[in-house]
Structure 1
Amino acid sequence: MADGRIIISASPHVHSDRTSKRVMYDVLIALVPAFVISLYVFGLPALVLTSVAVISCIVFEAAIQKYLLKTEVTVSDGSALITGVLLAFNLPSSLPIWMIIVGSFVAIGIAKLSFGGLGNNIFNPALVGRVFLLVSFPAQMTYWPTPFENNMNMVDAVAGETTLGIIKEGLLYGETMTTLASQIPSVTDLLFGFTSGSAGEMSALALMLGGVYMLARKVITWHIPITILVTMGVMTGIFWLADPEQYANPMIHLLSGGAVLGAFYMATDLVTSPMTKKGMVIFAIGIAVITVVIRLFGAYPEGISFAILIMNAFVPLINSYFKPRRFGSKIKAKIV
Structure 2
Amino acid sequence: MPADPVVSRLVTIAIDSALPFDTSSIPLEFVGSETLHEEADIVATDGMRGTIDHNKERTREGLKKVSGSIKVPCSRIVLDALLPYITGGNEATNIFPLEQTLQEFVMMVDRGAKVYTYSGCRIARASFNATQGQILMLDLDIEAETETTGDAGTFPSLTFPTEKPYIMKDGVLTLLGSTREFSEFNLTINNVLDTERYENALTRYTIPITDRTITLATNHPWSTDHTDLEKQALDGAAGTAVFTNAAVSGDVLTFAMAAVQYKNRTVTSQGQPTMRYPLEGDVRSSGSTAPLIITNAHS
TM > 0.5? no
Q: Which has the higher helix share?
A: 1
Calculate the TM-score normalised by the size of structure 2.
Answer: 0.26
In our comparison, the structure showing a higher alpha carbon Rg is: 2
Q: Which has the higher strand share?
A: 2
